[in-house]
């Protein structure tokens, strides 16, 4: 993709999909800066940890001011559910802030510094098209698709791609989070949940030189759920 060792900035690096992405990229020879509140479980010479609470959105631009990566992967996320008539509006605002506002601020700060052929990948969700009891969450993930398509058009002349990887229910600590009120994960038709390393492999492909003509797209990893 670019000359020299590529450098990815990955949010949500301490666990789940974000940690799987960091592990895959390190194995593939990337240098990785991982953002998370908790320490990330990596002892690797090519890994740096940036301790940052992404909920403090005003702190994002100053925190990444000295970073000029070749790729941005926004994997941090949270899921809260609720039926109409009993929506928690604070939960809705928190999901919008983490999924969409953080994506906006990171891309706004880093896109001007991405090199020719740079990459941006957002972790979305299969439920972006809508799901009962998950309207607020689905709306934030649908917004990521709109951002990706819009920014892909802006950045295509520089050879920079912007895509979304959208898994169905994935085997992560978030799947068993007791605060996932009114959200019961369902097994996909393949009979198991999506594995974090499968999501990471898709992200790694989209970051590769071979994916240079793929931009503005949502890659859904559903295990047959969307059939």
DSSP states along 173-216: GGGG-TT-TT------TTSSPBPHHHHHHHHHHHTSGGGTT--S
Q: What share of the chain is helix, strand, coil (3-state, %, to 5)?
A: 40, 15, 45
* Residues 34 and 14 sit within 8 Å (Cβ to Cβ): yes
Among 30, 47, 122, 137, the active-site one is 137
Question: How many other CB atoms are there within 10 angstroms of residue 139's CB atom?
Answer: 17
- β-bridge mates for residue 166, sequence order: 220
Q: Where are the alpha helices (DSSP H) in the chain?
A: 16-27, 60-63, 89-96, 102-110, 135-155, 196-206
Q: Does 195 participate in catalysis according to the annotation?
A: no
Catalytic center residues: 137
């Amino acid at each position: 993709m670019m000359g020299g060792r590529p450098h990815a900035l990955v949010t949500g690096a301490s666990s789940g999909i974000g940690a799987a992405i960091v592990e895959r990229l390190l194995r593939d020879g990337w240098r990785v800066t991982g953002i998370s509140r908790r320490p990330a479980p990596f002892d690797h010479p090519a890994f740096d940890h940036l301790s940052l609470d992404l909920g403090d959105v005003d702190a994002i631009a100053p925190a990444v001011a000295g970073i000029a990566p070749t790729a941005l992967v926004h994997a941090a996320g949270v899921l809260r559910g609720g039926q109409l008539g009993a929506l928690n509006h604070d939960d809705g605002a928190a999901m919008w802030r983490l999924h969409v506002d953080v994506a906006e601020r990171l891309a706004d700060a880093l896109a001007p510094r991405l090199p020719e052929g740079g990459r941006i990948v957002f972790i979305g969700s299969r439920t972006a098209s809508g799901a009962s009891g998950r309207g607020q969450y689905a709306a934030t993930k649908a917004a990521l698709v709109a951002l990706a398509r819009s920014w892909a058009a802006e950045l295509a002349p520089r050879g920079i791609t912007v895509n979304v990887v959208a898994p169905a229910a994935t085997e992560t600590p978030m799947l068993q989070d007791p605060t996932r009120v009114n959200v019961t994960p369902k097994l996909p038709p393949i009979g198991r949940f999506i594995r974090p390393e499968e999501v990471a492999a898709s992200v790694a492909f989209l970051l590769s030189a071979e994916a240079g003509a793929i931009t503005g797209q949502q890659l859904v990893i559903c295990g047959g759920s969307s059939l």
